[in-house]
């Protein structure tokens, strides 16, 4: 055994690493390039939310808090009946509990929740990690555009939203083409003309 051999080997490793170029990104000064469609935070498209509570019920961590009230809408035509609808009062996500599984986004039938790549939302106090709907709404512009459409695929939910386009997906092809004025070239799928 040569005395100091281990010390010399350790210093050799240190000298070799000191002469190589650093690959570390200095995070606060240089923002990292994230992979496309990264999961950061959950953004809320508030006008699509109907307070159906499906996201809160399916959340395995119970970190989504929704409060709403019913509002009566007067009839649109004379002699019609009044309608009721849910009005969203509070929509909050506690990111101290959230495990970023994405179940809430998948089960939302009205496409009100989306993944945003934003990840800089650290807080000094754990109570500050419960983000209300104002903050969730502010992340909506950061949601990336959907990937290019595959031929014959259903449109991306970020593009069509939860309105009439969603209802049009359930229409048989013949009825859809007839509505578009192309009834002769529509394939016969068994539905009456």
Residue range 6-27, pLDDT digits in tens: 999 999 999 998 888 878 888 8
Tell me what percent of the residues of the chain surpass a pLDDT of 70: 80
127 vs 100: CA distance, rounded Å: 18
Strands (E), the chain: 41-44, 64-73, 83-94, 113-116, 130-131
Position 161 confidence tier, pLDDT thresholds 50, 70, 90: low
Give the tokens for residue 112.
Answer: 């009100």
Contact yes or no for 82/74 (Cβ under 8 A): yes
With 80 as the cut, is the pLDDT of residue 176 above it? no
Nearest to 44, CA basis, from 60, 56, 31, 34: 56
25 vs 23: CA distance, rounded Å: 6
135 vs 95: CA distance, rounded Å: 12
Backbone angles phi, psi at 106, to 5 degrees: -70, -35
Position 160 confidence tier, pLDDT thresholds 50, 70, 90: low
Is the overall model pTM greater than 0.85, yes or no? no
Question: CB neighbours of 181 closer than 8 A, spacing ≥ 6?
Answer: none
> Of 188 and 150, which is predicted with more confidence?
150
Only one residue has tokens 């069509």, namely: 160
């Amino acid at each position: 055994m040569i005395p100091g051999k281990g010390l010399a080997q350790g210093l050799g490793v240190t000298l070799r690493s000191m002469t190589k170029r650093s690959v570390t990104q200095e995070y606060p000064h240089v923002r990292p390039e994230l992979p496309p469609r990264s999961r950061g935070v959950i953004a809320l498209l508030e006008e699509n939310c109907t307070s159906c509570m499906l996201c809160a019920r399916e959340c395995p961590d119970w970190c989504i808090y929704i409060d709403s009230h019913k509002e009566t809408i007067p009839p649109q035509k004379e002699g019609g009946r009044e309608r009721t609808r849910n009005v969203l009062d509070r929509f909050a996500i506690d990111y101290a509990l959230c495990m970023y599984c994405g179940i809430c986004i998948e089960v939302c039938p009205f496409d009100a929740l989306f993944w945003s790549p934003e990840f800089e939302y650290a807080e000094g106090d754990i109570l500050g990690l419960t983000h209300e709907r104002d903050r969730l709404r502010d992340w909506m512009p950061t949601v990336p555009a959907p990937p290019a459409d595959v031929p014959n695929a259903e449109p991306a939910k970020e593009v069509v939203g939860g309105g009439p386009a969603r209802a049009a997906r359930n229409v048989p092809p013949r009825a859809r083409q007839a509505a578009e004025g192309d009834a002769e070239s529509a394939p016969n799928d068994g539905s009456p003309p």
